[in-house]
Amino acid sequence: MALPNFQVHQPKTVEEVLDLLGRHRSSVKLLCGGTDLLIKMRSGAQAPEHLVSLNRVAGLKTISYAAGDGLVIGGAARISQVGKNPDVQRLYPGLAHACSVMATVQIRNMGTVAGNLVNAAPSADTAAPLLAYGASLVAVERGGRRQIKLTDFFTGPGLTVLEPGEMVEAIRVPDPPPRTGSCYLRLSARSKVDIAAVGVAGFINLDLSGKVIRCRLALGSVAPTPVRCPEAEAMLEGQDPGPELIARAAAACVRTSRPIDDLRATASYRRAMVQELAQRVLTQSLAMARGGGS
């Protein structure tokens, strides 16, 4: 179907973006890569009269890292840009992996990490690793700024706590301490150009004696939203996990998941894969953390 009529605005500053969002409040959407939005508009699922493009907003594509402060990903930073960033590759390998294998080359070149989160698909590939890295979002509106923990961000498929008139200005990811290991594994029927049927991300930080100080595990495509696994995390913290504990923690991840049968996989296969991938993620992350990597 043909696209409905709409007007595109090309603001140059965040303030102008917020003005436009306010002015056209009743029927406005932010546009950056358009890789999710335009599909919805073509299918008639959305018909905004105004599109506010972030593509010319100064500074919004920046990715910066500072030791101690961590990573800041601009709201308009492309997925491929994040995946190729040397700091991301070095310190946030799970995120780098997600950004280099999800969707297709063309979509990664146009789509943004912030857009992937705001679109709030249960299968959003960047969500699970960012949850595991303890990321938060910086949301701005005309009245001011607030920081939203990613764990609090998703409320359902396609739904988030973001208010109308609010935009994601940046994603902040804490600096991983020494003795940290992390990774993201995803499964799909096709090797590339595919949506994940199951995704598991993990982050483990060890103390000097090898015990887990902090563990974060997150799942994609197996619940209405990307989810953290508090039960499994609590089982591991304070422990020096061996294969048996890893298997039990993975089983706790399975309990956290709420997968459905759909055309991409059955719920029982997804549950088995949460177990399998969680074990692999924990084993790999522990090996990295023990190897002294950061």
Partner 1 sequence: MKTPSIIGQSIPRLDGPAKVTGRALYTNDLSLPGMLYGKLLRSPLAHAKITRIDVSRAKALPGVKDVITGADIPQVKYGNWRLVPQSQDEMALAVDKVRFVGDEVAAVCAIDADTAQRALELIEVEYEELPVILSVEEATAEGAALVHDESEGNVSLVRKIDYGDLEAMFAKADYIREDTFKVHPVQHAYMEPCSCLAASEEGDRVSLWTSTQTPYIVQCLLASTLGLPENNVRVMKVQVGGGFGGKMELRPWEFCASFMSLRTGRPVKFTLTRADELAFGRRRHAMSIYSKVGFSKDGKLLAKDFQVMLDGGAYNAMGPTATFLCGTFGNMLYNYPAYRYFGRHVYTNKPPASAMRGFGAPQAAFAAETQMNMVAEELGIDPIDLRLMNAMQTGDVIPDVATISSCGFKESLEKVRQISGWDEKRGNPKPGKGLGIGCFSFISGGVFNWFNTKYNFSAAEVKVFEDGTAQLATMACDIGQGPDTVLRQILAAELGIPIDKIRLISMDTATTPKADLGTWGSRVTLMNGNAIIEAAGKIKDMLRPVLFSELDLNQIHDVAFEDERVFVRANPKKGMGFAECVYKALRGREGEPLTARGYYTPRNKGLVSPAFSFGAQVAEVEVDTGTGLIRVEKMYTAHDCGVPINKMSVEGQLEGAIQMGLGYALMENLIMDDKGRTLNTTFLDYKMPTAEDMPPGESADVITYEPEGPYGAKEAGEGLAIPTAPAITHAVHQATGYRCMETPITPEKVLRALGKIK
Q: Angle at CA 227, nearest 5°, toward 285 and 38? A: 110
Q: Which of 6/269 has CB closer to partner 1?
A: 269
Q: How far is the CB of 247 from partner 1 (least distance, A)?
A: 12
CB of 173 to partner 1, least distance (A): 28
User: Considering beta carbons, is residue 194 or 240 the nearer one to partner 1?
Assistant: 194
Write down the least CB distance from residue 205 to partner 1, Å: 26
Q: Are strands 63-66 and 70-74 parallel, antiparallel or unpaired?
A: antiparallel
Task: Tell me which long-range contacts 161-164 makes (C-beta under 8 A, separation of at least 24).
Answer: 162/118, 163/139, 164/21, 164/25
HSE-up of residue 148 (Cα within 13 Å, Cβ side):
23
Query: What mask, x for binding partner 1 by CB under 8 A, covers residues 59 to 98?
Result: ----------------------------------------
Tokens coding 250: 């993975």
Return d(Cα 48, Cα 28) in angstroms, integer: 5
Please list the alpha-helical segments (H only) found in 64-210: 79-84, 86-91, 93-101, 105-110, 113-119, 127-132, 150-153
249-278 residues in contact with partner 1 (CB under 8 A) are: 263-266, 268-269, 272-273, 276-277
Of residues 156 through 195, those in contact with partner 1 by CB under 8 A are 187, 189-195
**Residue from the set 2, 67, 208, 209 that interacts with partner 1 by CB under 8 A:** 2
Q: Which amino acid is at 224?
A: P
Residues of span 193-212 touching partner 1 by CB under 8 A: 193-195
> Is the Cβ of residue 97 or residue 264 nearer to partner 1 in the bound state?
264
Q: Give pairs for 154-160: CB < 8 Å, separation 24+.
A: 154/120, 154/127, 154/225, 154/226, 155/225, 156/120, 156/224, 156/225, 157/120, 157/121, 157/122, 157/224, 157/225, 158/119, 158/120, 158/121, 159/120, 160/117, 160/118, 160/120
Q: Which is nearer to partner 1, 178 or 243 (CB)?
A: 243
Task: Closer to partner 1 by CB, 19 or 276: give it.
Answer: 276
Nearer to partner 1, 192 or 255 (CB): 192
Say how many residues touch partner 1, by CB under 8 A.
Answer: 21
Site membership for partner 1, residue 216 (CB under 8 A): no
CB of 125 or CB of 169, closer to partner 1: 125
Which residues make up the interface to partner 1 (CB under 8 A)? 1-2, 187, 189-195, 263-266, 268-269, 272-273, 276-277, 280
